[in-house]
Structure 1
Amino acid sequence: MRRIALAFCLAGVAALGGCANPIYRTDVFKAQLTAPYTLASGDRIRVIVFGQDALSNSYAINGSGMISMPLIGDVPVGGLTTADAQRVVETKLRGGFLRDPHIAIEVEAYRPFFVLGEITTAGQYPFINGMTVQKAIAVAGGFGPRADRGSAAITRMVNGVQVTARVPLAYPVRPGDTVNIEERFF
């Protein structure tokens, strides 16, 4: 009987110890921090076709990962870097429309990120370079009264799979992330 009581006591201490020091799983996202940015639905890109003002414009990437350009129609750019998207557009324009097209593509507006949970104003917010979890919380109006102020959970698409990890407040947020501030236990 003493062994069972001791086992329950040790399990309780271990569980409470886990509450005091959250385990961060930033290793799940580590490779993405240095990887080049890939375009996705919700991004807006600026395509500049040198010498062709009628083709130069801003294009929103639709839910299928496509932009729709004059002359060449739908162009798949979702999942590509801006350099890769540039090559795809150049290839399509070279296919019977322009002899030697020169293209530049840049991200004009990143897809939004989301903040949920124990904060003042949950919702969707425009992404700004240099965004961290702490800045995302500030943009959303700050912590709610029952918020866990030590860490957050970020949900992100990694190689086509949705992954959630607990991260510190200084951790970078990427476009399309969902930041969830959980309720504290005590």
Structure 2
Amino acid sequence: MRVAPALRAFGLSLLLAGCASTAGITAGAPPAPAPADEYQIGADDIVQVSVWRNPELSITAPVRPDGKISVPLVGDVVAGGRTPDAVAKDVQDKLATYIKEPQVTVILTELRSHEYLSRVRVTGAVRTPVSIPYRQGMTVLDAVLAAGGVTEFAAPDRSSLHRKAGDSAQAYEVQLNHILEDGDLTTNYKVAPGDVITVPERVL
């Protein structure tokens, strides 16, 4: 007779645990934006080609109008319309003829091509709506601070990040007040070229 209450208590504890688990999933952070397509190098972009342990082969140069760069020993390499990783792999394969197991990295140091597409825009209830050049590692907070921060009329926790993906666009919730006031960086997403951050005004 004493077993039934114990079983009921055990079953209740399992039910509560299940509810807590479900609540945790529902109340979790909003989904982060998917990474944008990796940037493709264009004419006039400045690239840095580094060859590990071979500084004499490392260069920093603009991409020529024909989309190529000149690398010591290798000669001309096509960079335009390709990702930095693809160019690094190409240079690495070509250098393997001359040096043993080369390790090559290619980094974009300045984005000069695709001027419109390689910018990030901040609009709405900010001090100075801006269109700023994208740089690697830039976050939502960086862009908003470049716009002078939000105004007293802003509803920062209803902000959003808009990103184009192919023929469609996706909006992601940005809890800007949590970022600015609480230091909660959960929605301080890294931005991508072409992103638009909007900060709406609060309803009076």
TM over 0.5: yes
Q: Is the 8 A contact 1:75 1:89 kept in 2?
A: no
Q: Give the deviation of 1:28 after TM superposition.
A: 5.8
User: Partner of 2:39 in structure 1?
Assistant: 39
Q: What TM-score do you get using the length of structure 2 for normalisation? A: 0.53
- Tell me which of 135, 145, 155 is aligned to 1:138: 145
Q: Give the deviation of 1:72 after TM superposition.
A: 2.2
- What RMSD, in angstroms, separates the aligned Cα atoms of the two structures? 4.0
Aligned-residue sequence identity (percent) comes to 17
Structure 1 unaligned residues grouped into runs of 5+: 1-23
Q: Is the 8 A contact 1:44 1:58 kept in 2?
A: yes
User: Partner of 2:197 in structure 1?
Assistant: 179
Matched, 1:56 2:59: yes
Larger Rg: 2
User: Partner of 1:6 in structure 2?
Assistant: none
User: Partner of 2:88 in structure 1?
Assistant: 86
**1:131-170 alignment to 2 at 5 Å?**
131-158=138-165, 161-169=168-176, 170=185
- Residue 150 of structure 1 aligns to a residue whose secondary structure is helix
User: Partner of 1:116 in structure 2?
Assistant: 123
Q: Assess, with a 3 A threshold, how the Cα gap between structure 1 residues 41 and 141 changes in structure 2: closer, same or farther.
A: farther
Would you say how many aligned residue pairs link Structure 1 and Structure 2?
150
Q: Assess, with a 3 A threshold, how the Cα gap between structure 1 residues 47 and 153 changes in structure 2: closer, same or farther.
A: same
Deviations 1:25-44 (A, max 9, x none): 94261x43xx9x82345874
Q: Give the deviation of 1:87 after TM superposition.
A: 0.6
User: Partner of 2:7 in structure 1?
Assistant: none
CA distance in 2 between partners of 1:61 and 1:122 (Å): 33
Q: What TM-score do you get using the length of structure 1 for normalisation? A: 0.57
Deviations 1:73-128 (A, max 9, x none): 542454x3x4333113444xx3xx98336432124247542212221111123556
User: Partner of 1:125 in structure 2?
Assistant: 132
CA distance in 1 between partners of 2:144 and 2:119 (Å): 14
